[in-house]
């Protein structure tokens, strides 16, 4: 019986070796690896400062040295500042305090830094009359002209002045009107804030600048979000004996206060 058992073992062993394809043990080691450490080898460790156990201010959880003051290691290592870094905004670390800043003309209108500064204002900036955006050059017989623009604002910080923009930036527009015979220069301007929250408030202005560079009286009013406002400045450039009222109507929109919004408003002008 024992003889038969030894025979079976021998047979199985032979089968097993041939199934392995005769693998040589030496093949398992890379040729000339030379990687085996010897007793004299030393392992470089990061320098230990202070206590035997590194403090949070010295290393990340991965053991790498950590320089405090960056957005990923602001007050302590591995305590990244919240928020997202992208085209519109970025996290900041100032003296161990996390913050968030919008770039250029981007605004954190919804107050949520997880989606960064999600609304960009109309660029280039046109917040003074000298930089007014030309809507068109038309004749007084032409149809209604219109344009849209945004008025974003927020409670956050901005990397360019003004750093606080609770009221955003004012917008200026102009429409040139050529006075033709048999038509009248109306310069009737309607501001439409129907897409804005009711708690927001705006001041709108309009005036007419005659071609002879004579500025006529400014008219202005206040309008709430959700509503419209129409202004019609005086366009009488000429004395009664002359009939050319050619010129340009200038219009502005300023936010006075209330909820922030990334919505667009519309200005429609009857030339
Ligand atoms: Ca946001
Ligand atoms: Ca007209
Ligand atoms: Ca704007």
Distance 89 CA to ligand 1 centre (A): 9
Asked if the structure places residue 156 within a domain, the reply is yes
DSSP H stretches of helix in 87-127: none
Residue 17 within any structural domain of the chain? no
Q: Which ligand is nearest to the CA of 148?
A: 3
Chain centre distance of CA 1: 86
Nearest to 151 by CA among 164, 139, 166: 166
Given this model, what pLDDT does residue 66 score?
82
Q: 170 CA to middle of ligand 1, Å?
A: 21
pLDDT confidence band for 238 (50 / 70 / 90): confident
Do strands 171-178 and 133-139 pair parallel, antiparallel, or not at all (unpaired)? parallel
CA of 111 to the centre of ligand 1 (A): 5
Count of domains observed in the chain: 1
**Does residue 15 sit in helix, strand or coil?**
helix
* pLDDT at position 252 over 90: yes
The CATH number for 191's domain is 2.60.120.380
The residue whose two tokens read 């004012």 is 170
**What is the DSSP annotation of 132-153?**
PEEEEEEETTS--EEEEEE---
Q: Is residue 234 part of a domain?
A: yes
Structural contact between residues 55 and 68, judged by C-beta atoms closer than 8 angstroms: no
Q: Does residue 25 fall inside a structural domain?
A: no
Q: Which ligand number lies closest to the CA of residue 116?
A: 1
Cα of 211 from ligand 3 centre, angstroms: 27
pLDDT at 5 over 60: no
Residue 171: CB atoms within 10 Å? 24
Residue range 18-32, pLDDT digits in tens: 444 444 444 444 445
CA of 100 to the centre of ligand 3 (A): 22
Could you report the per-residue pLDDT of 75-125, keeping only the tens digit for each?
Answer: 999 899 999 999 999 999 999 999 999 999 999 999 999 999 999 999 999
pLDDT grade for 242, boundaries at 50, 70 and 90: low
DSSP state of 3: H
Write out the residues surrounding ion ligand 2, Cβ under 5 A.
140, 183, 186
- Secondary structure (3-state) at 116: coil
The SS3 call for residue 247 is: strand
The pTM for the full model equals 0.75
228 bridge partner residues: 192
Contacts (Cβ under 8 Å, ≥6 apart) of 199 = 224, 225, 258, 259
Residue 241's pLDDT band, with cuts at 50, 70 and 90, is low
Domain span at 251 = 122-270
Query: Are the CB atoms for 248 and 179 separated by under 8 Å?
Result: no
* Separation CA 259–CA 137 (nearest Å): 35
Q: How far is the CA of 197 from the centre of ligand 3 (A)?
A: 16
CB of 235 closer than 8 Å to CB of 247: yes
| Positive or negative: CA dihedral 26, 27, 30, 32 | positive
Say if 228 falls within a structural domain.
Answer: yes
Q: For residues 139 and 178, is the Cβ–Cβ distance under 8 A? A: yes
Q: Cα–Cα distance between 146 and 234 in angstroms, integer?
A: 20
Confirm whether 101 is domain-assigned.
Answer: no
Gap from CA of 77 to ligand 1 centroid (Å) = 26
Cα of 263 to ligand 2 centre, how many Å?
30
Rg of the chain over CA atoms, in angstroms? 37
Name the closest ligand to CA 178.
2
Instruction: Find the 22 Cα to ligand 3 centroid distance in Å.
Output: 79
| 42 within a domain of the structure (yes/no) | no
Residue 107 included in any domain: no
Question: Residue 249: nearest ligand to its CA?
Answer: 2
C-alpha distance from residue 1 to each of 4, 13, 15 (Å): 5, 19, 21
């Amino acid at each position: 019986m024992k003889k038969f058992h030894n025979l079976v073992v021998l047979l199985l062993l032979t089968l097993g070796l041939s199934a392995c394809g005769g693998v040589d043990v030496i093949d398992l080691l890379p040729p000339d690896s030379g990687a085996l450490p010897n007793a004299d080898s030393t392992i470089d460790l990061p320098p230990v400062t202070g206590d035997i156990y590194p403090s949070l201010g010295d290393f990340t959880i991965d053991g790498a040295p950590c320089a405090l003051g960056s957005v990923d290691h602001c007050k302590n290592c591995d305590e990244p500042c919240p928020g997202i870094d992208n085209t519109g905004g970025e996290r900041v670390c100032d003296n161990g305090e996390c913050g968030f800043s919008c770039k250029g003309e981007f605004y954190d209108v919804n107050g949520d830094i997880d989606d960064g500064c999600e609304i960009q204002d109309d660029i280039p900036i046109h917040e003074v009359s000298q930089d007014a955006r030309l809507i068109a050059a038309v004749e007084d017989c032409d149809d209604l002209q219109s344009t849209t623009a945004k008025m974003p604002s927020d409670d956050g910080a901005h990397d360019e002045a003004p750093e606080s923009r609770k009221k955003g930036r004012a917008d200026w527009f102009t429409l040139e009107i050529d006075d033709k015979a048999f038509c009248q220069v109306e310069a009737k301007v309607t501001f439409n804030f129907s897409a804005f929250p009711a708690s927001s408030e705006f001041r709108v202005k309009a005036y007419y600048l005659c071609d002879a560079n004579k500025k006529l009286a400014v008219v202005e009013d206040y309008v709430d979000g959700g509503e419209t406002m129409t202004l019609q400045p005086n366009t009488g450039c000429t004395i009664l004996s002359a009939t050319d009222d050619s010129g340009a109507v200038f219009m502005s929109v300023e936010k006075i206060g209330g909820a922030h919004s990334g919505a667009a408003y519309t200005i429609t002008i009857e030339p």
